[in-house]
Structure 1
Amino acid sequence: MHGVGSNEKDLFSISDRLPDDFLVVSARAPHKIDNGSYAWYQVNFSTAIPTINYEQTKKSKSIILQFISQLKNEQQFDEKRIYLCGFSQGAIMSYIVGLTRPDIVHGIAIMSGRLLDEIKPSIYPDDMLKRLKVFISHGTNDSILNIQFARDSLSYLKMLGINPTYKEYPEDHVINSEMLNDLIGWLISN
């Protein structure tokens, strides 16, 4: 899932690097910003911690769940191997769906995202959550979402009994080739 200001075409470049047995599907966020530019929810970066429109996150979560359900009805694939991968705001949405509905996804890949405090009360409360596969990557020089968001998320997930694959890179708010290679390796091995 793409970040703020992008669209469903943004992350398709990784599909060429995955084995042929992977079905890669990309969704467009519902809130139009400009031509070809979308968001999963409105966000304000004028404060130290970005503030969000939480109602829009809930609606976007519902849209993603409907999208997955529709895919299950229209495509043939292993439903036990669904991964949500996202960058920035798409990563935040991957956390929201994966941690609150681990019954429908096998794993989540978080690239330069953060775990919203607002969803913590809704996190799935049983052993199914502990089986969720999680990949976290983040740039140590990220000027949009500070690296501390990733480190705090890692600590919180470990407290829940999840042991994520965690990678830091000397980068800003981008996906570089090393991050992409690590993500693809993780997807293939899980």
Structure 2
Amino acid sequence: MRNESESRLWSKPAAEREGTPLLVLLHGYGANEADLFSLAEALPADFTVVSLRAGLAAGPGFAWFPLGPDGSGGLAYSVADVQHAVTELLDWIDSVRVGHSSVSLLGFSQGMVMASSAARHRPDDFAAIVGLSGFVADSEPSDFFADEQLAARKLPFFWGRDQADPVVPQALVEYSNEWLNQHTALTKVLYTGIWHGISPAEIKHVGEFLTMSVLDQRASLER
């Protein structure tokens, strides 16, 4: 059994987290909690950042749900597996959210599926969502995905990617683009030369997005 305290990395000690906005980092397939944690240094210091480790062993690291090629240029995954993983993620977030002013999610690649699916399940629970080099699960609205409620809210969503990304199939890119435009307040930025990765310019834009959609909103409500 893994030590749960070792599967999370925090940017602030426990004594400094109370009342801060929480940003949860969700890594991609085959990575771990250390993969995205360095981003915390480049993001607004007001946030408490926590980077989580997914629960399934996959390649050199971990995965949130089983994912692989479908044999025809696409990706094979089960929406039921996504839903199960999201339920476990939200159970953990619920255990810590009471100490924070808000919760936002940042997911890379497979982590973007998790972040967007969590927002679809609980549209009112999050201040903002960031998705990097990933996609949205191709699924119809259901009892689990409250897409109409999310569309009514227009949750701030930042989506950054490279059009030359060799990992995410074009069909999923097109689906994600249409879905995000219909269901979120989307900020979409394209980058050149990052392939399936993250660039300093992109993280600068993410920081600006989080400042505007989370910190400025909080300051406005406190006036």
Q: Structure 2 length as normaliser, TM-score?
A: 0.75
1:5 aligns with 2:30: yes
- The residue correspondences of 1:103-114 to structure 2 (distance < 5 A) are 103-114=124-135
Contact residue 75 and residue 169 of structure 2 kept, 8 A: no
Q: What does the per-residue CA deviation read over 1:9-46, in whole Å, with 9 as the maximum and x for residues that have no partner? A: 111111112233211011111101256x0000111213
Q: Match for 1:167: what amino acid?
A: V
Structure 1 residues 95-132: Cα deviation after superposition (integer angstroms, max 9, x where no partner): 10012211211111010111111254323423675231
| CA shift in 2, pair 1:127/1:156, >3 Å | closer
In structure 2, the residue matched to 1:163 is 185
Query: Match for 2:115 among 81, 94, 119?
Result: 94
- Equivalent in the alignment of 1:84: 105
Q: Any conservation in 1 of the 2:133–2:162 contact (CA below 8 Å)?
A: yes
For the pair 1:154 / 2:177, whether they are aligned, the reply is: yes
Instruction: Give the structure with higher Rg (CA).
Output: 2
- Deviation (angstroms), 1:156: 2.1
Matches within 5 A, 1:7-156: 7-34=32-59, 37-45=61-69, 46-73=71-98, 76-79=99-102, 82-118=103-139, 120-121=141-142, 122-126=145-149, 129-146=152-169, 149-156=172-179
Shift of 1:151: 4.3
Q: Any idea what the Cα deviations from partners look like across 1:40-84, whole Å, max 9, x if unmatched? A: 0111213322010333212210111011101124xx2203xx111
Percent identity for Structure 1 against Structure 2 = 25
SS at structure 2 position matched to 1:84: strand
- Confirm or deny: 8 A CA contact 1:143 1:173 kept in the other structure: yes
Name the SS for the 1:145 alignment partner. coil
CA distance 1:55–1:179, shift in 2 (3 Å): same
Q: Cα RMSD (Å) of the superposition?
A: 2.0
Name the one with the larger strand percent: 2
What residue identity is the alignment partner of 1:50?
Answer: L
Q: CA 1:27–1:94 in structure 2 vs 1: closer, same or farther (change >3 Å)? A: same
For 1:132 and 1:25, locate their aligned partners in 2 and report how far apart those are by CA, in whole Å.
21
Give the gaps of 5 or more residues in structure 1.
none
Flag structure 2 segments of 5+ consecutive residues without an equivalent: 1-25, 214-223
Q: Does 1:178 align with 2:201?
A: yes
CA distance in structure 2 between the partners assigned to 1:98 and 1:23 by the alignment: 20
